[in-house]
Amino acid sequence: MRVKLVAGNWKMSGSLASSQALIKAILPQVAALNRARYAVCPPFPYLGVVGQVSQGSNVALGAQDLCQFDDGAYTGGVSGAMLADCGCRYALVGHSERRGIFGETDEAAALKYGQALKHGLTPILCVGETLAEREAGATESVVARQLDAVVKRCGAAAIGQGVIAYEPVWAIGTGKTATPQQAQDVHAFIRGRIAAADRRVAEALTILYGGSVKAGNAAQLFAMPDVDGGLIGGASLVADEFVAICRAAQDAKETVKA
Ligand code: PGA
Protein backbone atom coordinates (compact mmCIF):
# COMPACT_ATOMS: atom_id res chain seq x y z
CA MET A 1 0.00 0.00 0.00
CA ARG A 2 1.34 3.41 -0.96
CA VAL A 3 0.70 6.43 1.25
CA LYS A 4 0.35 9.64 -0.70
CA LEU A 5 2.82 12.51 -0.34
CA VAL A 6 2.30 16.21 -1.05
CA ALA A 7 5.45 18.35 -1.09
CA GLY A 8 5.51 22.12 -1.57
CA ASN A 9 8.44 23.55 -3.52
CA TRP A 10 8.67 27.20 -2.54
CA LYS A 11 11.51 27.80 -5.05
CA MET A 12 13.29 31.18 -4.69
CA SER A 13 10.22 32.98 -3.37
CA GLY A 14 9.29 34.99 -0.32
CA SER A 15 11.11 36.46 2.64
CA LEU A 16 11.90 35.40 6.18
CA ALA A 17 8.65 36.99 7.37
CA SER A 18 6.49 35.52 4.60
CA SER A 19 8.02 32.04 5.03
CA GLN A 20 7.19 32.13 8.73
CA ALA A 21 3.68 33.35 8.03
CA LEU A 22 3.14 30.67 5.36
CA ILE A 23 4.21 27.73 7.52
CA LYS A 24 2.19 29.09 10.44
CA ALA A 25 -0.90 29.26 8.25
CA ILE A 26 -0.37 25.73 6.87
CA LEU A 27 0.39 23.83 10.08
CA PRO A 28 -2.88 24.03 12.02
CA GLN A 29 -4.93 23.06 8.95
CA VAL A 30 -2.73 20.13 7.95
CA ALA A 31 -2.53 18.94 11.57
CA ALA A 32 -6.02 17.48 11.19
CA LEU A 33 -4.97 15.31 8.23
CA ASN A 34 -3.52 11.90 8.97
CA ARG A 35 -3.82 9.69 5.89
CA ALA A 36 -0.99 11.13 3.77
CA ARG A 37 2.50 12.61 4.17
CA TYR A 38 3.22 16.30 3.83
CA ALA A 39 6.37 18.38 3.34
CA VAL A 40 7.53 21.87 2.42
CA CYS A 41 10.82 22.81 0.77
CA PRO A 42 11.69 26.44 1.64
CA PRO A 43 14.74 28.30 0.29
CA PHE A 44 18.00 27.31 2.08
CA PRO A 45 18.26 30.43 4.32
CA TYR A 46 14.77 29.84 5.72
CA LEU A 47 15.14 26.12 6.49
CA GLY A 48 16.12 26.93 10.08
CA VAL A 49 13.16 29.08 10.92
CA VAL A 50 10.59 26.98 9.04
CA GLY A 51 12.08 23.88 10.68
CA GLN A 52 11.74 25.44 14.12
CA VAL A 53 8.13 26.42 13.58
CA SER A 54 7.18 23.02 12.12
CA GLN A 55 9.12 20.87 14.57
CA GLY A 56 6.98 18.04 15.93
CA SER A 57 4.25 18.67 13.33
CA ASN A 58 3.12 16.39 10.51
CA VAL A 59 4.69 18.68 7.89
CA ALA A 60 8.24 17.54 7.18
CA LEU A 61 11.06 19.78 6.04
CA GLY A 62 12.75 19.39 2.66
CA ALA A 63 15.51 21.15 0.73
CA GLN A 64 15.29 22.13 -2.92
CA ASP A 65 18.76 20.88 -3.81
CA LEU A 66 21.99 19.61 -2.27
CA CYS A 67 25.63 19.41 -3.26
CA GLN A 68 26.88 16.27 -4.98
CA PHE A 69 30.03 16.31 -2.82
CA ASP A 70 30.54 15.46 0.83
CA ASP A 71 32.25 18.52 2.30
CA GLY A 72 35.16 20.86 1.80
CA ALA A 73 36.10 23.47 -0.78
CA TYR A 74 32.84 23.77 -2.73
CA THR A 75 31.93 27.43 -2.38
CA GLY A 76 28.20 27.94 -2.32
CA GLY A 77 27.51 24.26 -1.85
CA VAL A 78 25.14 22.90 0.81
CA SER A 79 25.85 19.32 1.82
CA GLY A 80 23.46 16.52 2.67
CA ALA A 81 24.96 16.39 6.17
CA MET A 82 24.17 20.10 6.70
CA LEU A 83 20.60 19.60 5.55
CA ALA A 84 20.14 16.61 7.85
CA ASP A 85 21.59 18.75 10.64
CA CYS A 86 18.95 21.40 9.99
CA GLY A 87 16.16 18.86 10.35
CA CYS A 88 15.48 18.13 6.68
CA ARG A 89 13.87 14.82 5.84
CA TYR A 90 13.64 15.30 2.07
CA ALA A 91 15.78 16.82 -0.68
CA LEU A 92 14.70 17.54 -4.23
CA VAL A 93 17.19 16.23 -6.76
CA GLY A 94 17.45 17.14 -10.43
CA HIS A 95 14.54 19.57 -10.57
CA SER A 96 14.05 20.72 -14.16
CA GLU A 97 15.06 24.27 -13.20
CA ARG A 98 18.36 22.90 -11.87
CA ARG A 99 18.82 20.88 -15.05
CA GLY A 100 17.61 23.52 -17.52
CA ILE A 101 18.82 26.81 -16.02
CA PHE A 102 21.88 25.66 -14.07
CA GLY A 103 23.06 22.97 -16.46
CA GLU A 104 22.81 20.09 -14.00
CA THR A 105 23.56 16.79 -15.72
CA ASP A 106 22.00 13.35 -15.22
CA GLU A 107 25.28 12.31 -13.63
CA ALA A 108 25.25 15.21 -11.13
CA ALA A 109 21.66 14.37 -10.22
CA ALA A 110 22.67 10.75 -9.65
CA LEU A 111 25.53 11.84 -7.37
CA LYS A 112 23.17 14.12 -5.43
CA TYR A 113 20.70 11.26 -5.07
CA GLY A 114 23.43 9.13 -3.54
CA GLN A 115 24.51 11.96 -1.21
CA ALA A 116 20.95 12.43 0.04
CA LEU A 117 20.67 8.74 0.91
CA LYS A 118 24.08 8.71 2.51
CA HIS A 119 22.97 11.42 4.93
CA GLY A 120 19.60 9.90 5.76
CA LEU A 121 17.53 12.21 3.56
CA THR A 122 14.81 10.94 1.24
CA PRO A 123 15.69 12.16 -2.25
CA ILE A 124 12.81 13.26 -4.48
CA LEU A 125 14.20 12.69 -7.96
CA CYS A 126 12.55 14.94 -10.54
CA VAL A 127 12.29 13.70 -14.12
CA GLY A 128 10.40 14.97 -17.14
CA GLU A 129 10.51 16.01 -20.75
CA THR A 130 10.38 19.42 -22.44
CA LEU A 131 7.61 20.31 -24.86
CA ALA A 132 9.93 19.75 -27.84
CA GLU A 133 10.85 16.33 -26.51
CA ARG A 134 7.17 15.39 -26.00
CA GLU A 135 6.29 16.57 -29.51
CA ALA A 136 9.17 14.55 -30.91
CA GLY A 137 7.77 11.45 -29.18
CA ALA A 138 10.77 11.29 -26.86
CA THR A 139 8.98 11.48 -23.47
CA GLU A 140 9.73 7.90 -22.48
CA SER A 141 13.31 7.89 -23.68
CA VAL A 142 14.09 11.13 -21.79
CA VAL A 143 12.50 9.90 -18.57
CA ALA A 144 14.23 6.53 -18.95
CA ARG A 145 17.62 8.21 -19.42
CA GLN A 146 17.13 10.37 -16.31
CA LEU A 147 16.05 7.37 -14.22
CA ASP A 148 18.69 5.01 -15.55
CA ALA A 149 21.50 7.40 -14.60
CA VAL A 150 20.47 7.04 -10.94
CA VAL A 151 19.88 3.29 -11.13
CA LYS A 152 23.30 2.84 -12.74
CA ARG A 153 25.13 4.82 -10.07
CA CYS A 154 23.10 4.00 -6.95
CA GLY A 155 21.41 0.67 -7.79
CA ALA A 156 17.73 -0.27 -8.15
CA ALA A 157 17.32 -0.81 -4.40
CA ALA A 158 18.27 2.85 -3.84
CA ILE A 159 15.27 3.89 -5.92
CA GLY A 160 13.12 2.23 -3.28
CA GLN A 161 14.57 4.53 -0.63
CA GLY A 162 13.58 7.64 -2.53
CA VAL A 163 10.62 9.22 -4.28
CA ILE A 164 10.24 9.99 -7.99
CA ALA A 165 8.49 13.14 -9.20
CA TYR A 166 7.34 13.18 -12.82
CA GLU A 167 7.30 16.83 -13.82
CA PRO A 168 6.80 17.55 -17.52
CA VAL A 169 8.78 20.75 -18.08
CA TRP A 170 6.00 22.21 -20.25
CA ALA A 171 3.60 21.98 -17.30
CA ILE A 172 5.82 23.66 -14.69
CA GLY A 173 4.70 27.17 -13.82
CA THR A 174 2.73 27.43 -17.06
CA GLY A 175 -0.78 26.76 -15.80
CA LYS A 176 -0.85 23.93 -18.35
CA THR A 177 -1.34 20.73 -16.34
CA ALA A 178 -0.84 17.29 -17.83
CA THR A 179 -4.17 15.52 -18.09
CA PRO A 180 -4.67 12.81 -15.48
CA GLN A 181 -4.26 10.24 -18.27
CA GLN A 182 -1.04 11.81 -19.58
CA ALA A 183 0.36 11.74 -16.04
CA GLN A 184 -0.84 8.17 -15.46
CA ASP A 185 0.78 6.95 -18.70
CA VAL A 186 4.22 8.26 -17.76
CA HIS A 187 3.86 7.17 -14.13
CA ALA A 188 3.02 3.64 -15.31
CA PHE A 189 6.03 3.75 -17.61
CA ILE A 190 8.30 4.77 -14.71
CA ARG A 191 6.93 2.04 -12.46
CA GLY A 192 7.34 -0.49 -15.25
CA ARG A 193 10.92 0.50 -15.87
CA ILE A 194 11.80 0.11 -12.20
CA ALA A 195 9.83 -3.16 -12.06
CA ALA A 196 12.09 -4.58 -14.75
CA ALA A 197 14.95 -4.22 -12.24
CA ASP A 198 13.04 -4.92 -9.03
CA ARG A 199 9.31 -5.60 -8.92
CA ARG A 200 8.84 -5.11 -5.18
CA VAL A 201 10.65 -1.79 -5.21
CA ALA A 202 8.47 -0.65 -8.12
CA GLU A 203 5.21 -1.57 -6.42
CA ALA A 204 6.07 0.30 -3.24
CA LEU A 205 7.59 3.31 -5.03
CA THR A 206 6.00 6.73 -4.46
CA ILE A 207 5.67 8.56 -7.79
CA LEU A 208 4.53 12.19 -7.54
CA TYR A 209 3.15 14.33 -10.33
CA GLY A 210 4.29 17.96 -10.57
CA GLY A 211 3.39 20.75 -12.97
CA SER A 212 0.62 23.28 -12.31
CA VAL A 213 -1.14 21.18 -9.68
CA LYS A 214 -3.85 23.30 -8.07
CA ALA A 215 -6.68 22.81 -5.59
CA GLY A 216 -9.00 22.46 -8.58
CA ASN A 217 -7.20 19.61 -10.36
CA ALA A 218 -5.43 17.72 -7.55
CA ALA A 219 -8.23 15.24 -6.80
CA GLN A 220 -8.46 14.08 -10.44
CA LEU A 221 -4.70 13.62 -10.67
CA PHE A 222 -4.46 11.83 -7.32
CA ALA A 223 -7.25 9.45 -8.36
CA MET A 224 -5.03 7.87 -11.03
CA PRO A 225 -3.67 4.48 -9.96
CA ASP A 226 0.03 5.33 -10.34
CA VAL A 227 -0.12 8.93 -9.08
CA ASP A 228 0.93 8.87 -5.43
CA GLY A 229 0.73 12.58 -4.68
CA GLY A 230 2.17 15.83 -5.95
CA LEU A 231 5.11 18.19 -6.01
CA ILE A 232 3.55 21.63 -5.86
CA GLY A 233 5.24 24.88 -6.92
CA GLY A 234 3.15 28.05 -7.31
CA ALA A 235 0.12 26.73 -5.43
CA SER A 236 2.26 25.84 -2.42
CA LEU A 237 2.86 29.54 -1.76
CA VAL A 238 -0.80 30.13 -0.96
CA ALA A 239 -1.70 28.43 2.32
CA ASP A 240 -5.34 27.70 1.48
CA GLU A 241 -4.47 26.30 -1.97
CA PHE A 242 -1.74 24.09 -0.56
CA VAL A 243 -3.95 22.86 2.27
CA ALA A 244 -6.73 22.04 -0.22
CA ILE A 245 -4.23 19.95 -2.21
CA CYS A 246 -3.14 18.22 1.01
CA ARG A 247 -6.80 17.47 1.66
CA ALA A 248 -7.20 15.99 -1.81
CA ALA A 249 -4.37 13.58 -0.96
CA GLN A 250 -6.01 12.78 2.36
CA ASP A 251 -9.30 11.98 0.61
CA ALA A 252 -7.82 10.03 -2.30
CA LYS A 253 -8.09 6.29 -2.15
CA GLU A 254 -4.89 4.57 -1.11
CA THR A 255 -3.45 2.71 -4.04
CA VAL A 256 -2.86 -0.94 -3.42
CA LYS A 257 -1.32 -1.87 -6.71
CA ALA A 258 -0.81 -0.36 -10.14
P1 PGA B 1 4.34 24.50 -10.47
O2 PGA B 1 5.80 23.95 -10.15
O3 PGA B 1 3.39 23.78 -9.53
O4 PGA B 1 4.41 25.97 -10.17
O5 PGA B 1 4.05 24.20 -11.89
C6 PGA B 1 6.04 22.59 -9.86
C7 PGA B 1 7.51 22.36 -9.61
O8 PGA B 1 8.35 23.00 -10.25
O9 PGA B 1 7.88 21.52 -8.77
Query: What is the model's pLDDT at position 253?
Result: 77
Q: Is the CB of 28 under 6 A from ligand 1?
A: no
Query: What's the gap in Å between 72 CA and the centre of ligand 1?
Result: 32
Element (H, E) at 245: helix 239-251
Query: What's the gap in Å between 73 CA and the centre of ligand 1?
Result: 32
Q: Is the CB of 212 under 6 A from ligand 1?
A: yes
Q: Whose C-alpha lies nearest to ligand 1, atom 6? A: 233
Query: What is the model's pLDDT at position 107?
Result: 98
Which ligand 1 atom is nearest residue 9's CA?
9
Query: What is the model's pLDDT at position 256?
Result: 44
DSSP-based three-state secondary structure for 210: strand
- The answer to whether 178 touches 136, Cβ cutoff 8 Å, is no
Measured in degrees and rounded to the nearest 5, phi and psi for residue 130 equal: -80, 170
Q: From start to end of 33-157, where are the E strands?
A: 37-41, 59-63, 90-93, 122-127
| C-alpha distances in Å from residue 15, one per residue of 42, 101, 168, 242 | 10, 22, 28, 18
Cα separation, 38 vs 28, in Å, equals: 13
* Cβ neighbour number for residue 246 with a 10 Å cutoff: 29
Query: What's the gap in Å between 234 CA and the centre of ligand 1?
Result: 6
Q: Is the CB of 233 under 6 A from ligand 1?
A: yes
Query: How far from the centroid of its chain's Cα atoms is residue 30's Cα?
Result: 18
Q: Is the CB of 234 under 6 A from ligand 1?
A: yes
| C-alpha distances in Å from residue 150, one per residue of 93, 114, 184, 257 | 11, 8, 22, 24
Walk along the chain (258 residues) and give the pLDDT tens digit of each residue. Answer: 799 999 999 999 999 999 999 999 999 999 999 999 999 999 999 999 999 999 999 999 999 999 999 999 999 999 999 999 999 999 999 999 999 999 999 999 999 999 999 999 999 999 999 999 999 999 999 999 999 999 999 999 999 999 999 999 999 999 999 999 999 999 999 999 999 999 999 999 999 999 999 999 999 999 999 999 999 999 999 999 999 999 999 999 765 443
**Sign of the C-alpha dihedral computed for residues 15, 21, 25 and 27 taken in this order:** positive
What is the secondary structure of 10-35 as a DSSP string?
-TT---HHHHHHHHHHHHHHHTT--S
Query: What is the model's pLDDT at position 214?
Result: 97
Q: Is the CB of 211 under 6 A from ligand 1?
A: yes
Query: What is the model's pLDDT at position 255?
Result: 53
Which ligand 1 atom is nearest residue 213's CA?
3
Helix 106-118, helix 139-154: angle, nearest 10 = 40
DSSP-based three-state secondary structure for 255: strand
Which ligand 1 atom is nearest residue 234's CA?
4
Residue partners of 56: CB distance under 8 A and separation at least 6: none
First-to-last C-alpha distance (Å) of the chain = 10
- The answer to whether 113 touches 93, Cβ cutoff 8 Å, is yes
Cα separation, 41 vs 251, in Å, equals: 23
**Sign of the C-alpha dihedral computed for residues 229, 230, 235 and 236 taken in this order:** positive
Cα separation, 78 vs 65, in Å, equals: 8
Q: Is the CB of 100 under 6 A from ligand 1?
A: no
Query: What's the gap in Å between 233 CA and the centre of ligand 1?
Result: 3
Residues serving a catalytic function are 95, 167
Query: What's the gap in Å between 210 CA and the centre of ligand 1?
Result: 6
